[in-house]
Amino acid sequence: MIVRIAAVQYLLRPIHDWSGFENHVRFIMKAAGDYKPQFVLLPEIFTTQLLSFMDTSDVVASVRNLNDYTRRYKDLMLELAHEWNVHLIGGSHPTLHEDGRLLNTAYYFTPGGEIFEQDKIHRTRWEREKWNTDAGDQLRLFETPFGKIAILICYDIEFPELARMVCEAGADILFVPSCTDDRQGFLRVRYCCHARAIENQVFVAMTSTVGNLPVEGLGMHYGQAAIITPSDFPFARDGIAAEGTPNVEQIVVADVDLKDLESNRLSGTTIPLYDKRKDVYEHPVEVIKLA
């Protein structure tokens, strides 16, 4: 089965109201939808663009005030997923729960009107110390008409165990919405996406925010979208099906073939998804003290 993925490098520029955000998203989704993809991926916390017209003098309070727009965000994304007949990984959005917890949640919208969620499992220092967010604790695998997918938000891709868990459960594509402020942060995510693709013989689609905002902690962004493959003969030579130009608003599109993935897992040059020595992992590391 050939699956088309569109990953959006979303430009964070100042806006004056909700309409500015909505118009920007509609423009982006029309541009992506014209390619007729099965999946569209938006970046992590791209809804922080709304902070450009909100009071941000208190960082902890302002990120929680974004929750006032959660309903409108969901309604907009549902409408666009239906309009363009796509499975929309709508980036992520800081979501305040009734118990007071603030989670960085990726929302997955289907063209049939369903909404699913994947919370970020691991928080960065900024999220812990500046935003005072909370961590999610449940991984999910989504069985779609176009393969089995999972969502690992930015920092979560840097933890190999998470990717291995969802891939052993059957994931074909990992979606990685991210938001990074500098090249080092971006490359940490990018290199880990390549590693996870190789380790688990899985496709990985990632994207990032780009642009600037006059908001504390969100002023600068470094980003580039890519659709990454395992490293073997059936796939792109460098393990990159497609990638964008860094730091400009752009849509990156590629077709991936799930049949290539299936055959590579069984008869590839190496088959790391199945070659894992689970028996060894059950034993503690032997520590040897030298004199």
Catalytically active residues are 44, 120, 154
Burial environment of residue 190 by CB neighbours within 10 A (0 to 12, 13 to 18, 19 or more): buried
Between strands 147-151 and 173-178, the pairing is: parallel
DSSP letters spanning 177-243? EE--SSHHHHHHHHHHHHHHHHHHT-EEEEEEEEEE-SSTT-SEE----EEE--SSTTS-TTSEEEE
Q: How far is CA 96 from CA 16, 45, 101, 226, in A?
A: 23, 14, 6, 30
Can you state the angle between helices 183-200 and 160-168, rounded to 10 degrees? 30
Q: How far is CA 245 from CA 31, 40, 146, 234, 252, in A?
A: 17, 18, 27, 25, 9
Tell me how far apart the alpha carbons of residues 126 and 130 are, in angstroms, rounded to a whole number. 5
